[in-house]
Structure 1
Amino acid sequence: MKYLEGIAEFCAVAEVGNFTGAANKLDTSVAQISRKVASLEKQLGVKLLQRTTRSVSLTEAGTLYFEQALPALKALENAQLSVSALQTSPQGLIKLTAPVAFGEAFIAPLLNTFMQKYSGISVQCTFSNEKLDIVDLGLDLAIRIGKLEDSTLVAKKIATRHLFVCGSKAYFEEHGQPQTIDELKHHSLLVGSQPYWRFMVDKEIQSISVQGRARYNSGNALRSAALAGLGLAQLPGFYVRDALASGELIEVFPEYKDKQEAIWAVFPSNRNVAPKIRLLVDFLAQHIVSDS
């Protein structure tokens, strides 16, 4: 923005009444002040300052320009200070979306802690298992899990989670415990929103097609069915960790556990990411446990 060049220098001279004082105020040289003011006068096509060997005074055009330029310059300085302050004292509304169960278990408590830490921040979070269009809805970011579809969105991995295959003690007493992945075809499987399970075999991810009596798009419903002895389920740790610890559920195939499913923060690519958003993403990455 070439038309802004020289305005700060001219206003400094007008305020203090000489080039030396202006140079001291802006921490630059007298020659630099003189060049910038001369360039501004050339651009405007008028003399702004009347220079003599002893003093500097404003011309009529200079007085008019100074009266209108100084408030604008102060407004720009205040705008810059306000933006800089966001780095240490972020303010404003953050709008995001996250999957229902994961969001309720992990994201919501962290958002509450984040707002306690930064009192100027407010949050509007939509929990949904649908991949909402964050651009059309005007959201700042989305928390998503697993493989991302190709899109124009920008993604940052903030954590990973583990997937556990498990069933109840009662189920295993009746049907036996599978010893190989191939034996899963002889068992009752509880299917989630995706018709496959993921395993890490020889350091590579393998997806195994699964079918079963029950299919739920809810991790809580799958855990409930597994606890009821209806079959085996593959679920992230936060659904089943307590039940595994208590012995209500028993894990199978721990050696094939997929530990690489990513948790992402996703942004619209056509926006500059505000400091408050970067701060939140960094906060989530720091506090989300990677074996969720």
Structure 2
Amino acid sequence: MSWDGVNEFVAVVETQSFTAAAQRLGISVAQVSRQVSLLEQRLAARLLYRTTRKVSVTEAGQLYYQHCRPLLDGLREAEQAVSQAQERPSGHLRVTAPVYYGERVIAPLLHRYLQSQPAVTAELNLDNRKVDLVAEGYDLGIRLGPMDASSLMVRQLGQRTHHVCASPDYLMQFGEPHTLAELKHHQCLVGTLNLWRFREPDGRLHEVHVAGRLRCNSGAALLDAALAGVGLVQLPGYYVDEHVANGRLRSVLHAYTLVDGIWANYPRNRFLPQKVSGFIALLEDSL
């Protein structure tokens, strides 16, 4: 039995691309293509259909993939079981997180982790989309807000608090809202969705549709607009805390403040690598 070409084949199936498979494995596209072709010759079977635009899996390829994936998982777990016996974390750690939170919070903690673990290298990719950790080869994903049902492992790292804020000049001109119903009379700075979520005093979740003169999919840009006096904004504390503390913003509607979660997601694995568990432990302590 030979393992030649198996990793390359599985990577192509899971990424649906020779280019993406090469990026995941850290080798050239030509090497991936050559290894898969040699594997097909050895098996005397066509595993993949290739066109200039897409890659699809044949019936034989799907059958082979279903048998190979558990074998590769078992091999990885065996390697991780051995590495668990090592005294210090080591290896390459791939992490993904939302852009602004990743810049402000996760990146500094990752830098601290690298300083304390010289045998670990890391890659941090910041992306606001919901990344497929397994398909894209990540060890750890940081997620914010309510958690949907998932086949991944989930661990709560902390909480984030959402604040409704405005500049003192704006509140001087338009007044301070004291109820959710009053928001319809204000210029609300709208993000990706035109609704804000609140927690009623009795614990119920409540959504309010909001509108205003500015809509933007960047929390940093909405923060800048609020600082400029353009309107009210709802943002998590890591955007606004320092500005509330120095008086450039004032927080309102405290009775309806929403608190939700900060989460670590990672693929199910009987042997969580020390490079991952060590970083998660740092996040738990810090957040």
CA 1:273–1:83: 2 relative to 1, 3 Å: closer
- 2:251 is aligned to 251
The offset of 1:270, in angstroms, is 5.9
Match of 1:278 in 2: 277
1:132-156 CA-to-partner distances (Å, cap 9, x unmatched) read: 2111111111001012233322211
Q: How far apart, in 1, do the equivalents of 2:165 and 2:82 lie?
A: 55
Q: Which residue identity does 2:250 align to in structure 1?
A: I
Query: 2:258 is matched by which residue type in structure 1?
Result: D
Which residue does 1:242 correspond to in 2?
Answer: 242
2:129 corresponds to which residue?
130
Aligned CA RMSD, in angstroms, stands at: 1.9
Structure 1 segments, 4+ long, off by >4 Å, are 78-82
- Using a 3 Å threshold, how does the CA distance of structure 1 residues 89 and 185 change in structure 2: closer, same or farther? same
Question: So what's the TM-score if we normalise by structure 2?
Answer: 0.68
Q: 1:233 Cα deviation (Å)?
A: 0.4
Shift of 1:273: 2.3
Partner Cα separation in structure 1 for residue 119 and residue 127 of structure 2: 26
Q: How do 1:182-261 and structure 2 match up within 5 A? A: 182-201=181-200, 202-259=202-259, 261=260
Amino acid at match of 1:210: V
Structure 1, residues 117-146: CA drift from partner, whole Å, max 9, x if none?
Answer: 111111101011111211111111100101
| Other structure's SS at 1:191 match | coil
The offset of 1:81, in angstroms, is 6.3
**Hey, what does 1:115 align to over in structure 2?**
114
Give the fraction of aligned pairs with identical amino acids, expressed as a percent.
39
Distance 1:213 1:119, change over 3 A: same
Separation (CA, whole Å) in 2 of partners of 1:83 and 1:255: 47
Question: Deviation string for 1:234-257 (max 9, x for gaps)?
Answer: 011111111111111111111221
The Cα of 1:204 is off from its aligned counterpart by 2.4
Q: Which amino acid aligns with 1:284?
A: L
Matches of 2:205 and 2:271, distance apart in 1: 35
Q: 1:138 to 1:168 in 2, by over 3 A?
A: same
> Residue 140 of structure 2 aligns with which residue?
141
SS in 2 for 1:277: helix
Deviations 1:62-98 (A, max 9, x none): xxxxxxxxxxxxxxxx99765311xx31100110100
State the match for 1:21 in structure 2.
none
Aligned counterparts of 2:170 and 2:216: Cα–Cα separation in 1: 19
State the secondary structure of the residue aligned to 2:85: helix
Task: Tell me how far 1:157 sits from its aligned partner.
Answer: 0.8
Q: Give me the whole-angstrom Cα distance separating, in 1, the residues matched to 2:251 and 2:81.
A: 55
In the alignment, structure 1 segments of 5+ residues that lack a partner are 1-77
1:208 positional shift: 1.8
